[in-house]
Amino acid sequence: MAKKEPRQLQEKVVAITGAARGIGLATARALSAKGMKVAIGDLDKTDSDKAAASVDGAHGFELDVTDPESFARFLDGAEEAFGPIDVLVNNAGIMQLGPFVAESAATARRQVDINVHGVLNGMRLILPRFQTRGSGHLVNIASTAGKAGIPGGATYSGTKHFVVGTSEAVRLELRGSGIEVSCVMPVVVNTELATGLTEARGIRNVSPEEVADEIASVLAEPRFDVFVPRSVGRITKTMGVLPRRAREGVARALKADRVLAQVDTKAREAYELRASRSDPRLQAADEHEQLTPGE
């Protein structure tokens, strides 16, 4: 059977959420280099404009992924600037760490609202547009934490499990429609989100550029499972056939159970503060909770 020719990305339109920094910005640069037209969405318009200025031909937009109306304006603005969107990269997400019993309700809601509902909002808005044209590619950024529960990041792991499961289900629902769905599952990525984290034994952290390169690759040759690095896909498959006690033993041997649990909290202070301010609608709830602990 002849191998399919890679899809041409030149002149295709991509919208990327949370793209003012980290994986999102690296992806914007990688896809622009492939000739794609890039719409950069981020919570702060100043940040998205600054990021867009560093990416050839990109446009920056204000975007609160937790607000469906804001998300719709982002997609409409991207299509007004460039034409119909061919690819949506649901990248926006936060990771706040600590023991589950010490996590505030507002912190949990914030992660669920951004990491879960932010992805759902994008999917609900973009998929009908793709269906109308009979083509399109949805790329959801999850994590290897979406394949295993990681101590120290229980809620974060849960949100990424949700992204993986929802992506799998929607992919099957869209089979034969001409619409592609991919789920990107990197290990720890060297971005601000990973500040203060350690590496698992034998599994190095990756750069945002490596994740971006895999996203560019999957757009040219679509597949669902996108592990970064690819070797982690083989490890995940092997772990999946082991009994639970063996899986947990391997995780301890690799020190994977310490990656999110034993962190430099001082080094993470600035990121945790920014993450706590990443959903304006939840700030009031967080402040109330801090003033009235135990409610």
Instruction: Quote the number of domains for the chain.
Output: 1
pLDDT in tens, 219-265: 999 999 999 988 887 877 777 777 878 777 767 776 777 888 888 88
Residue 192 counted as domain residue: yes
Residue 57 counted as domain residue: yes
Q: What's the whole-number mean pLDDT along residues 118-147?
A: 97
CB-CB contact of 64 with 113 (8 Å): no
What domain range is 230 assigned to? 13-289
Q: How many CB atoms sit inside 10 A of residue 160's CB?
A: 29
pLDDT in tens, 48-95: 999 999 999 999 999 999 999 999 999 999 999 999 999 999 999 999
Enumerate residues 6+ apart whose C-beta is below 8 A from 184.
Answer: 139, 140, 141, 142, 211, 214, 215, 218, 226, 228
Residue 3 counted as domain residue: no
Q: How many CB atoms sit inside 10 A of residue 49's CB?
A: 17
Q: What is the model's pLDDT at position 279?
A: 65
pLDDT in tens, 30-40: 999 999 999 99
Question: What is the rounded distance in angstroms from the CA atom of residue 102 to the CA atom of residue 94?
Answer: 18
Residue 295 counted as domain residue: no
pLDDT in tens, 94-108: 999 999 999 999 999
pTM reported for the whole predicted model: 0.90
DSSP state of 243: -
CATH number at residue 54: 3.40.50.720
Question: What is the rounded distance in angstroms from the CA atom of residue 72 to the CA atom of residue 68?
Answer: 6
* Single-letter code of the amino acid located at 112: V
Please name the helix (run of DSSP H) or strand (run of DSSP E) that holds residue 62, with its range, or none.
strand 59-62
Residue 2 counted as domain residue: no
Residue 294 counted as domain residue: no
Catalytic residue among 156, 162, 227, 271: 156
Q: What is the model's pLDDT at position 294?
A: 33
Residue 158 counted as domain residue: yes
271 is catalytic: no
Q: Are strands 59-62 and 37-42 parallel, antiparallel or unpaired?
A: parallel
Q: What is the model's pLDDT at position 3?
A: 66
Residue 211 counted as domain residue: yes
